[in-house]
Amino acid sequence: MVALRARVQDAEARLEKLQDVREDLDCLRDRVWDLPRQLGGDVERLRTRCSQGEENDERVRQGLERYVDWIRDLYDRVGYLERREARRVAARAPDPAPAPAPAPA
């Protein structure tokens, strides 16, 4: 359980970092689109690379979201199984022994 929580937190942290990268890519994209008047012929090559980076970023983000969803689902299932096992063990527990009958006098 603890390991699953750690994996979820790790995946969420990676997703957060990826969102920061996305913002950085947006900033870079804006700068790249301004380059035509500055750099001339190199602009198209840079635009292509930026677009490919955005596509890759989106694929990675979607993959991480699916992974986090899968881990959360697995975590929920493990919790359900643990609760079910606890109920099963409790149902099998023997009833407390009855108090001994008083001895005849």
User: Are 90 and 51 a contacting pair, CB within 8 Å?
Assistant: no
Report pLDDT for 65: 93
Residue 92 confidence class, pLDDT cut points 50, 70, 90: confident
> How many Cα neighbours within 13 Å face the side chain of 43?
13
Per-residue pLDDT reduced to its tens digit, 34-43:
767 677 767 6
Q: Is residue 103 part of a domain?
A: no
List CB contacts of 54: < 8 A, sequence separation 6 or more.
Answer: 25, 29
CA 22-7-12 angle, to 5 degrees, is 25
Q: Is residue 47 part of a domain?
A: yes
| Residue ranges making up the domain that contains 78 | 2-92
pLDDT at 97 over 70: no
Q: Is residue 104 part of a domain?
A: no
Q: Is residue 105 part of a domain?
A: no
Q: How many residues does the chain have?
A: 105
Q: Is residue 98 part of a domain?
A: no
**Number of domains composing the chain:** 1
C-alpha dihedral, 34 to 35 to 40 to 46, nearest 10°: -120
Q: Is residue 37 part of a domain?
A: yes
pLDDT at 32 over 70: yes
pTM of the model: 0.42
Q: Is residue 99 part of a domain?
A: no
Average pLDDT over residues 26-35: 82
Q: Is residue 97 part of a domain?
A: no
Report pLDDT for 96: 67
User: Are 61 and 15 a contacting pair, CB within 8 Å?
Assistant: yes
With both helix axes pointing from N to C terminus, report the angle between 43-92 and 2-33 in degrees, rounded to the nearest 10: 160
Residue 62 confidence class, pLDDT cut points 50, 70, 90: very high
